[in-house]
Amino acid sequence: MTRLWFLNRWVLFAVVAGGIAAFMDQDYYYTLLNFIGIHTLLVVGLNLLLGYAGQISLGHAAFFGLGAYTSGILTATVGVDPWLALVAGLAVSGTAAFLIGLPALKLRGYYLAMATLGFGIIVYIILNEASDLTGGPSGLSGIPSLSLAGFAFNTPRRLYLLIWILLGLILYISANLVNSRTGRAIRALHDGEAAAESLGVDTFRLKLKIFVWSALYASLAGSLFAHTLNFIAPSSFGFMFSIKLVTMVVLGGMASIWGSLLGAGALTVLPELLTVFHDFEMVIFGAILMAVMIFLPRGLVRGILDLYENRRYKRQGGSFPV
Amino acid sequence: MELHGVSLAFGGLQAVEQVSFGVAPGTVKAVIGPNGAGKTTLFNLVTGFLAPQAGRILFGGVAIQGRPAHRIARQGIARTFQLVQLFDHMTVLENVMVGRHRLSSSGLIAGALQLPWTRTEEKVIRQKALEALEFVGLADRAGQPAAVLPLGLKRMLEIARALASAPTLLLLDEPASGLDAVETERLQDLILELRRQGITILLVEHDMGLTMEVADEIAVLNYGKLIADGPPRAIQKNPEVIAAYLGTDWQG
């Protein structure tokens, strides 16, 4: 029964995503959907770390940037095959995450948050200053599009196919992960590190693994981003974007794979709708973060379900067991 | 399991001092003593949450002191906590499934890709977890979030989780605290059943009725020192133990 329902969600995802591809013909919407897809990749990865494992990264934009710039530099400047460059980006981001996580995760507490915060700022500065390599603040252009067997992903609609098929796979893999042995151990260490240790879970190693894993998602998103825009500049990879990602995780719901899609979707579309308020974007994001934390601490999806359940319980004269 | 001259001080406080005793395989040993006597510290030393400053802890003849907790757990030592530590955001069944961690091996990538052998392993994990729940009488609660269980059942769940790791040595830290008389009686039956199955049990407990019923041997701690070690009858009559902990009620 649950199994069937679970399957249905994937069918729904495929039908909706495929339906859009079949019927929509405005490039603007495809572009928007592509950004939603890329953001969702980032948010799912961050959610695995933040929502499931309970570890905070305030520098995920940096891994996004490392992926984007590794792809960008290797393809535009060196002329490497884009797919190979993407893999190189994964290697760079994964190694960086490993090296940060190694000391930061050994310690209890919020050292990872501080280390990633610092790392994010350092990467941002390097992207700006190493202009010989990165093009500096004015950015890096001439990044080729991805192509597969002669089919170039060079229009918003074609990119949509690539990004959303990849996203579907990543969502599927992530949902599998959280319900696997390792996924349970990750959730367990979040709820009770000592108890997890007492059952043979090497919590340090597992935190490091999921941190690296999460950085890989960001790197993949970064490479796709670079090949989607064909141009990248440091401003896309700053501290504020890291915070935006955290907001998307919280809005969609911590420890919710599908919530990630919703959180990323909502906060990608919102600025488009509120272009008048552009100067206040960060204020609005801050307000959303606060409001969700206070009123829907489990995020939009579960929060609304909770409200519904709560009402039902109250009608039956009971109280909702939280 | 044997302790040889195990000592640990927190700053100037000698929490455990030169403690030596053994637990024979397949027996139940209780550690009793007043609050602050070092019982839980002793548990943390055996399970690797603390490292002793001196002394040796042998398990199956191998020195395990100072090893990280997860490595000791993988040797087959499981524990419960004085303050129940469940994975609140996971279901009752999932909690117990984590107990199978040391006996299974699917990694992150295998789990993400759901490789065929992972699915097979997952079935075994689920099956064994259900058996453990059945054993403690929680099978009908399998799908509920662990957080909603009443305390008595939470303690049972914690034991089921520990049992899912198929331990040879099980450490129970005040399993009866917060339980009512009926629940305590069930706990007693459970401990005796586990002993019958050949699991060695080390128990910290304040409920003397329970302790006297289940323990083959009792070690008594006071201010971090072992003041007595022997069968319950002898402990009950030991004047030092009576003075330090039992009072006169338990004098045989």
Contact A102, A208 (CB under 8 A): yes
Whether the per-residue pLDDT at A103 is higher than 70: the answer is yes
Are residue B114 and residue B225 in the same domain, yes or no?
Answer: no
Per-residue pLDDT, A4: 59
Q: What is the CATH number of the domain that holds A24?
A: 1.10.3470
Are B67 and B105 within one domain? no
Q: What is the ipTM of this complex?
A: 0.94
| B125: Cβ contacts below 8 Å, ≥ 6 apart | A181, B97, B100, B104
Last residue of a domain, one of B144, B165, B186: B165
Chain A contact for B88 (CB, 8 A cutoff) = yes
Specify whether B188 is located in the same domain as B223.
yes
Work out the pLDDT band at A3, boundaries 50, 70, 90: low
- Select from B164, B45, B35, B44 the least CA-distant residue to B104: B164
- Please check whether residues B134 and B189 belong to one and the same domain: no
Q: What share of chain A is helix, strand, coil (3-state, %, to 5)?
A: 80, 0, 20
pLDDT at A236 over 70: yes
CB B173 within 8 Å of CB B40 = yes
Measured between beta carbons, the chain A residues lying within 8 angstroms of B85 are 192, 194-195
CA-nearest residue to B103 within chain A is A200
B158 and B172 both lie in a single domain: no
- Alpha-carbon torsion angle A80, A83, A84, A89, nearest 10: 100
Q: Is residue A113 part of a domain?
A: yes
Mean pLDDT of chain A: 91
Radius of gyration in angstroms for the set of CA atoms belonging to chain A, rounded to a whole number: 20
The per-residue pLDDT for A302 is 80
Q: Give yes or no for residue B245 having a pLDDT over 70.
A: yes
Max CA separation in chain B (angstroms): 64
Higher pLDDT, A63 or B251: A63
Per-residue pLDDT averaged across A37-45, rounded? 98
Which of A173, A197, A322 has the CB atom closest to B70's CB atom? A197
Give chain A's domain count: 1
Please report whether residue A266 resides in a domain.
Answer: yes
The tens digit of pLDDT for each residue in A55-95 reads 999 999 999 999 999 999 999 999 999 999 999 999 999 99
Contacts (Cβ under 8 Å, ≥6 apart) of A199? A188, B70, B73, B78, B98, B99, B101, B102, B161, B162, B165
Using the predicted structure, report yes or no on whether residue A318 has a pLDDT greater than 70: no
pLDDT at A2 over 70: no
Whether B114 and B190 share a structural domain: no
Domain that holds residue A30: 2-273
Q: Which residues pair with B2 in a beta bridge?
A: B22, B58
The pLDDT confidence band at residue B252, using thresholds 50, 70 and 90, is very low
Average pLDDT, stretch A8-13? 84
Evaluate whether residue A50 is within a structural domain: yes
Number of domains in chain B: 2
Domain residue limits at B116 = 86-165
B208 touches chain A (CB under 8 A): no
Q: Are residues B135 and B248 in the same domain?
A: no
Task: For A25-176, list the strands marked E by DSSP.
Answer: 140-141, 147-148, 151-152
The verdict on a CB contact (< 8 Å) between A200 and B97 is: no
In this predicted structure, the answer to whether residue A276 has a pLDDT above a threshold of 90 is no
Do B147 and B122 fall into the same domain?
A: yes
The residue among B220, B210, B226 whose CA lies nearest residue B246 is B220
Residue numbers in B near A209 (CB within 8 A): 108
Q: Work out the number of other CB atoms within 10 angstroms of the CB of residue A260.
A: 31
Give the CATH number, domain containing residue B37: 3.40.50.300
Domain annotation covers residue B81? no
pLDDT digits (tens, 9 = 90+) for B122-144: 999 999 999 999 999 999 999 99
Contact A177 B112 (CB under 8 A): yes
Q: Tokens 């579960």 appear where?
A: A302
Contacts of B71 in chain A (CB under 8 A): 202
Mutate to test the interface with A, among B108, B128, B171 (most CBs of A within 10 A): B108
pLDDT at position A129 is 97
- Per-residue confidence (pLDDT) for residue A14, from 0 to 100: 87
Residue A120 host element (H or E): helix A111-129
Of B114, B147, B165, the last residue of a domain is: B165
Give the minimum alpha-carbon distance from A69 to chain B in angstroms, rounded to a whole number.
26
Q: Does some domain include residue A289?
A: no
